[in-house]
């Protein structure tokens, strides 16, 4: 059996080596490392894939979130509601900009923002909601947009884990995740569903004026060279990364298809085990399985991880400490603040290897290794 990894980027590269090598060589030969034609091409390609008019490339997914918040013209102390059950970047940029992160709880089935909890956290100072489409599953966007619209709030979709996913409005249109809110952001970190070979990120929006502002902010607030209208930052997608992404974007749907097949097989293997809840697939969306995450009941998770490691099966806990319990936010919450579902999930989730190159034998071996420990 091939060695098992959480994500197997070497094997994925082997399948696209010729195209990737040629695309990178073209950048090397042109020496247009910054703002090369690959970057414009990729922005256009992503815009057509997502069916959204404006794509602003940037240096990584954390910058994308920061630029998004900077683009909304908020004042220090304004409140931004985010889940606590997420990667730290989502909430960190809020505090970095001297805004106030306000943590809402998540739904125990989808692991995404619970609209009822969001509603309870709204105050006069609330300006924006940042739903995270965690593990590849869309947040309940209709409910979130309804809340946002009735309180005139902005919505930034953190789509770093769900690029390529769909959201179906009840009885209506299907949208790509990340294209429903005021704006969406994503990351091209190598292990993401659409991963570059280094860092990268992007923002997308339907609002032309906002797009112009975001473009300026990502480029030192420049209107034209050396004329700076806004305080911005320097955040670019490298031409080499864009070249890699131009090769990989046309393969994204096939890659997602493979992830879903792996999830289907895991689901079958774990069906009927009373101590395991397999990932919920909300009928309103297409789950793109950035992670395959089980919920364990009554199991010693540390011992399970040790058992898996002894069989050379990696596993991960995303995320062992929720944002509202992180030291960096000590100033932003009282110790009495409880996010019941978030804390409950934090103790029970475990993510298994999930990538585009997994074969039957590996999936079987991983599932058997989990089951032999729990049975
Ligand atoms: C990966 C990730 C980010 C940050 O992306 P980087 O490119 O690593 O900066 C932000 N939010 C979520 C939910 C992520 O998974």
What pLDDT, in 10s, does the model give residues 166-190? 999 988 899 999 999 999 999 999 9
Q: Which of the listed residues 6, 58, 89, 101 should we mutate to test ligand 1's pocket, taking the one with most ligand atoms within 8 A of CB?
A: 89
How close is the Cα of 211 to the center of ligand 1, in Å? 21
Tell me the CA–centroid distance for residue 259 and ligand 1, in Å: 19
Residue 187 CB–ligand 1 contact under 6 Å: yes
Given this model, what pLDDT does residue 331 score? Answer: 82
Measured between alpha carbons, how far is 91 from 139 in angstroms, rounded to an integer? Answer: 17
In this prediction, residues 55-75 reach a mean pLDDT of 97
Q: What is the mean pLDDT of residues 75-104?
A: 96
According to the model, what pLDDT value does residue 292 have? 98
Give residue 223's pLDDT. Answer: 87
Average confidence score pLDDT of the chain: 96
Which ligand 1 atom is the nearest neighbour of the CA of 86? 13
Give the mean model confidence (pLDDT) for residues 25-35. Answer: 98
> Average of pLDDT values for 1-13?
97
pLDDT > 80? residue 145 = yes
**What number is the average pLDDT over the span 94-104?**
96
Average pLDDT over residues 128-143: 98
Q: Which residues of the chain does CATH 3.40.640.10 include?
A: 9-249
Give the pLDDT of residue 119: 97
Q: Whose CA is nearest to atom 5 of ligand 1?
A: 61
Kindly indicate the confidence band of residue 354, based on its pLDDT and cuts at 50, 70 and 90: very high
Say yes or no: CB of residue 111 within 6 Å of ligand 1: no
**Ligand 1 atom nearest to 63, measured from its CA:** 9
Confidence of residue 375 (pLDDT cuts 50, 70, 90): confident
Q: What is the percentage of the chain residues whose pLDDT exceeds 70?
A: 99
pLDDT at 171: 83
Q: CATH 3.90.1150.10: which residues of the chain? A: 251-374
Work out the average pLDDT over 91-96: 96
| Mean of pLDDT values over 95-120 | 97
Pocket test for ligand 1, best of 82, 131, 160, 192 (most atoms within 8 A of CB): 160
pLDDT higher than 80, residue 165: yes
pLDDT at 337 over 80: no
Topology of domain 9-249, per CATH? 3.40.640
pTM over 0.75? The answer is yes
- The top-level CATH class assigned to 251-374 is alpha beta
Q: What is the mean pLDDT of residues 56-85?
A: 97
**How much is the pLDDT for 313?**
98
3-state secondary structure the chain: CCCCCCCCHHHHHHHHHHHHHHHHHHHHHHCCCCCCHHHHHHHHHHHHHHCCCEEEEECCHHHHHHHHHHHCCCCCCCEEEEECCCCCHHHHHHHHCCCEEEEECECCCCCCECHHHHHHHCCCCEEEECCECHHHCCCCHHHHHHHHHHCCCEEEEECCCCCCCEEECCCCCEEECCCCCCEEEEECCCCCCCCCCCCCEEEEECCHHHHHHHHHHCECCEEECCEECCCCCECCCCHHHHHHHHHHHHHHHHHHHHHHHHHHHHHHHHCCCCCEECCCCCCCEECCCCCEEEEECCCCHHHHHHHHHHCCCCCECCCCCCHHHCHHHHHHCCCCCCCHHHHHHHCCEEEECCCCCCCHHHHHHHHHHHHHHHC
pLDDT tens per residue, range 255-295 = 999 999 999 999 999 998 999 999 999 999 999 999 999 99
The pLDDT of 360-367, averaged and rounded, is 98
- Summarised one tens digit per residue, pLDDT across range 215-228 is 999 999 998 899 99
């Amino acid at each position: 059996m091939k060695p098992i990894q959480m994500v197997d980027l070497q094997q994925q590269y082997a399948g696209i080596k010729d195209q990737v090598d040629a695309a990178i060589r073209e950048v090397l030969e042109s020496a247009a490392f910054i703002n090369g034609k690959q970057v414009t091409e990729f922005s256009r390609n992503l815009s057509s894939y997502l069916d959204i008019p404006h794509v602003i490339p940037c240096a990584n997914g954390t910058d994308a979130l920061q630029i998004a918040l900077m683009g909304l013209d908020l004042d220090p102390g304004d409140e931004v509601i985010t889940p606590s059950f997420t990667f730290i970047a989502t909430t960190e940029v809020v505090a970095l900009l001297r805004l106030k992160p306000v943590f809402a709880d998540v739904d125990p089935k989808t692991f995404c923002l619970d609209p009822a909890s969001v509603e309870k956290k709204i105050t006069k100072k609330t300006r924006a909601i940042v739903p995270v489409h965690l593990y590849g599953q869309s947040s309940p966007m209709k409910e979130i947009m309804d809340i946002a619209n009735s309180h005139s709030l902005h919505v930034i979709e953190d789509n770093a884990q769900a690029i390529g996913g769909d959201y179906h409005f009840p009885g209506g249109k299907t949208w790509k995740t990340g294209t429903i809110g005021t704006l969406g952001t994503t990351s091209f970190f190598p292990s993401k569903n659409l991963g570059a070979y280094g860092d990268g990120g992007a923002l997308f929006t339907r609002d032309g004026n906002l797009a112009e502002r975001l473009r300026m902010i990502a480029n030192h607030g420049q209107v034209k060279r050396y004329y700076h209208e806004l305080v911005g930052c320097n955040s670019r997608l490298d031409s080499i990364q864009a070249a890699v992404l131009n090769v990989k974007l046309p393969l994204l749907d096939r890659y997602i298809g493979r992830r879903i097949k792996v999830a289907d097989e895991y689901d079958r293997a774990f069906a009927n085990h009373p101590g395991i809840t397999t990932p919920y697939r909300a009928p309103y969306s297409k789950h793109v399985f950035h992670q395959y995450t089980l919920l364990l009941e009554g199991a010693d998770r540390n011992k399970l991880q040790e058992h898996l490691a002894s069989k050379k099966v990696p596993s991960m806990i995303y995320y062992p400490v929720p944002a509202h319990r992180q030291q960096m936010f000590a100033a932003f919450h009282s110790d009495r603040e409880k996010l019941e579902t978030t804390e409950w999930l934090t103790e029970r989730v475990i993510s298994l290897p999930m990538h585009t190159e997994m074969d039957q034998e590996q999936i079987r071996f991983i599932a058997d290794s989990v089951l032999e420990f729990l049975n």
